[in-house]
A and B are shown apart, each in its own frame.
Chain A
Amino acid sequence: MTTPTTPPETPGTPAPILEVRGVQKIYQGKQRNVEAVRDLTFSIAAGEMTCIVGPSGAGKTTLLKCVAGLLDTTAGEIVLEGERVTGPPRGMAVVFQEYGRSLFPWLTVRQNVELPLKEKNLPKADRESLVDEALAAVGLADVHGAHPWQLSGGMQQRVAIARAVAYEPHVLLMDEPFAAVDAQTRGELEDLVRALWKRLGVTVLFVTHDIDEAVYLGQRVIVLSMSPTVVLADVAVDLPEQRDQLHTRSLPRFAELRAKVYELIQQSKRGVRPGSGDEHEQPGTAVAADTQSGSM
């Protein structure tokens, strides 16, 4: 129960840990129903770092809330570790964009990280060591007693990450976690996420609207269409595993991938949808090609 899951050391064909099958979400309104997500299908292998990117209004947050079990799907299903998600699953932790609103302001940093562990009924000694490790891992070993609002935005998000890490999830969901922090802090936090992912072997699903961030972080970038959302393309990121802000971002391959995803996002904004003869003016061929290359 408390053992951290390390994915099997077989890089060949790892079994999917998370499957999203034909998910549709329609918000029932008083006047009209809004179809936010139409048909999403993808699966994520254990230990994978996947970024989901889409223009604003692409139903990213809706998708993430469905995966997190916070929203019911209208159709389709989400399966985590072989079990259908009907409520927030135990093996999942979420880091929200609004760090200032997702930490309990009446608890100290330490208490914030510890609270979910208390709920898991972990013995005190285990809790202590998990909290200590998690806070040290995010570089906050010396602010245990502070309240979240006494910290800078970047540090608050570190606390939220520490809370997620201490929870020992199998899947870590991150909903535009760095959208509200400044650029320098953002770079540091991106590296922190990469480092934690490698060390813990956790599966990460990272939602963002930032193309550079998606390419820099992910092994794979799933590009979403505009709402009602479908998967527009699935791009494999074949950058070296060892990444750092300076060198990775100046690689020619990084620029290519960035350009590719950028182009996909532009298409998405213009309303291009994959597959069939599009009613839009944009040629659908480019999309098909990208989708193909993504599956390589």
Chain B
Amino acid sequence: MSVGSVARRTMLTVGLPVVLVTAWWFATANSTNFFWPPLREILEAFADTWFSNRIMADVVPSLVRLLVGYVLALVLGIGLGVAIGSSRTLRGVVEPVLEFFRAIPPPVLVPILILFAGIGNEMKVLVIVSGCLWPVLLNTVEGVRGLDEVLRDTARCYGLGRRSQLTHLVLRGASPQIAVGARQALSIGIILMVISEMFAASNGVGFTIIQFQRTFAIPEMWSGIILLGLIGITLAFLFRLVESRALAWYRGLRMTQRGEG
């Protein structure tokens, strides 16, 4: 019974991707269109292109920049978010400005950041930070502001100092909301990782895809797009793994609340 249900679930998850890939495969099998090559060719190109020194030369640098930018945005966003969320005065002063900055699409910052930070890694990391920061920051502010009053009182009554309040109350209590921001930031980060490499770069996945496109290496270009999709899925999966560990209590709490309500 349980083996059957596992099989069923696997079918449901894998089913649609298999159908789509198969459809793509057969639809393009005899394609002679230059821009729409057979999937077989794309997959061959994928193996040749990416299972080579390009992994170290392009994929890893992209991922490192993404990781550094993402982690920086998390640290900055959570740090500032806790400060802003804890102080009503600070919130009143800062919030309209935050909304303004959040409304600016980060890609338009690329030319400006090139002026300040050049075209090296710093610029690309900055672009990623400038996009990832806002969802983390604003969600942290909301999470901290939404902390339960009774829980705050409890922490004070039982003599929890500032530091324990931060780790045991504020960060843990805001963590579900912070996770929402972090998840949004991750997908924004991947987009910005590629975009920052399209403007001015000498390596990276985004740079390589643009190179292929400009040199009419169409199957290789497609393979790069597939690679980006795979990177996205993998990172989202890893994120969900961490989240389900860290927020197991929250899922349980929500489920019991729903059960009662």
Contact = CB atoms under 8 A, between A and B. Distances in A.
Contact of B158 (A101, A105, A163): A163
A90 B159 contact: yes
A150 B159 contact: no
Interface in A222-272: none
A107 B237 CA distance: 26
Interface stretch (A29-37, A114-122, A288-296): A114-122
Interface in A98-132: 98, 101-107, 115-116, 118-120
A94 B154 contact: yes
Nearest to A97: B150
A163 B161 CA distance: 17
B155 to A, nearest CB: 8
Contacts, number: 71
Nearest to B152: A70
A88 B159 contact: yes
Given A98-B150, A102-B150, A102-B151, A115 B160 contact: yes
B148 interface: yes
B168 A68 contact: no
Contacts of B257: 149
Contacts of A106: 172-173, 175, 249-250
A101 B257 CA distance: 12
* Chain A binding surface, main DSSP class: loop
B241 interface: no
A115 B158 contact: yes
A70 B159 CA distance: 11
Contacts of A118: 164
Contacts of A104: 151, 168-169, 172
B160 A70 contact: no
A164 to B, nearest CB: 9
A93 interface: yes
A98 B256 CA distance: 16
A69 B172 CA distance: 25
A92 B159 CA distance: 10
A96 B154 contact: yes
B92 interface: no
Given A70-B157, A119-B159, A147-B249, 8 more contacts: A70-B156, A88-B156, A92-B157, A96-B150, A101-B148, A101-B150, A119-B160, A150-B252
14 contacts: A69-B156, A70-B153, A88-B158, A92-B157, A94-B157, A96-B150, A96-B154, A101-B150, A106-B172, A106-B250, A107-B168, A115-B160, A119-B161, A150-B256
Interface of B: 148, 150-151, 153-154, 156-161, 164, 168-169, 172-173, 175, 249-250, 252-253, 256-257
